[in-house]
Amino acid sequence: MNKNEIINDIDELIANAFNRDFWLNVNDNLGQQYLAANDVTKGTSLKLEEPEQVRFRPQARHYALNSALRRAAQASGLVCRDMQTNPKGENYVVVESKGIQLGRIGQNHDEKGIKGAKHRNLLAQLNLELEGYTFDLFDKENNTKKSVETLGVLLVNVNPPNHLPQETMLDLRVIVPFTNLKGFHYNKSIIELLELYTGENKTIIPDLVLPKLKKRLKDQEK
């Protein structure tokens, strides 16, 4: 299977797991929270000066965007869990649907790839545990007998540079990174993703697709 075929398989899994309205709600809700977080940061209640604003704004965004993702998931009737990285470090919202676990991270405009221990931890969590069962996204042989097959996907909101207005999200992307975070199996903007819903989508049985796909993802990382 070549790279285009892998991307096509992931396209079909995502379109099967999430409807178009979910992605529209995600895009709208997260965009609104950029404005809200900036209003709180620069508002008269906290009276923060510029140095404090620069440090406070990312935290305000993080929790506001988590809440926005949760609301979008709930509006679509999807399973939504609150998770912490292990070892304990940060809180994340994870949305589950038909073989996919979707988590969200923020990224600065000039970052070339996904970095940081907390992001590696989140990806490991997405690929490690579902409903009390243990499994490894890329190592089927070590799965427990009752393992559940899933694909860990990251929703990445891209932040504007500090010299530009801070109330607008630069981009929103859906990615499947390498386990070492040094590359991507899949990387599309939300606009590209919405184009998947122009026709009738195939019905996918994740349990039939995921085992073969995950083996090919592992092979691609070698």
Question: For tokens 């912490």, what's the residue?
Answer: 84
User: What pLDDT shows up at residue 22?
Assistant: 97
Burial grade of 119 (CB within 10 A; 0-12, 13-18, 19 or more): buried
Query: One-letter amino acid identity for 130?
Result: L
Predicted pLDDT at 139: 45
| Residues whose CB falls within 8 Å of the CB of residue 98, separated by 6 or more in sequence, listed in order | 13, 16, 17, 204, 206
Q: Are 155 and 101 in contact (CB under 8 A)?
A: no
- Nearest-CA neighbor of 79 among 32, 148, 3? 148
For the chain, what is the largest distance between any 2 Cα atoms, rounded to a whole number of angstroms? 57
The answer to whether residues 161 and 121 touch, using CB atoms and an 8 Å cutoff, is no
Would you put residue 42 in left (φ > 0), alpha (ψ -120 to 50) or beta?
alpha
Cα angle vertex 62, ends 57, 66, to 5°?
145
Structurally, the chain folds into a number of domains equal to 1
Query: How confident is the model at residue 137, as a pLDDT?
Result: 39
Its pTM stands at 0.84
Q: Walk along the chain (222 residues) and give the pLDDT tens digit of each residue.
A: 578 888 999 999 999 999 999 999 999 999 999 999 999 999 999 999 999 999 999 999 999 999 999 999 999 999 998 887 666 767 889 999 998 999 999 999 998 778 776 766 677 667 653 333 333 434 445 444 345 578 889 999 999 998 999 999 999 999 988 877 778 889 999 999 999 998 776 777 887 788 788 788 888 887
Domain that residue 9 falls in:
3-220
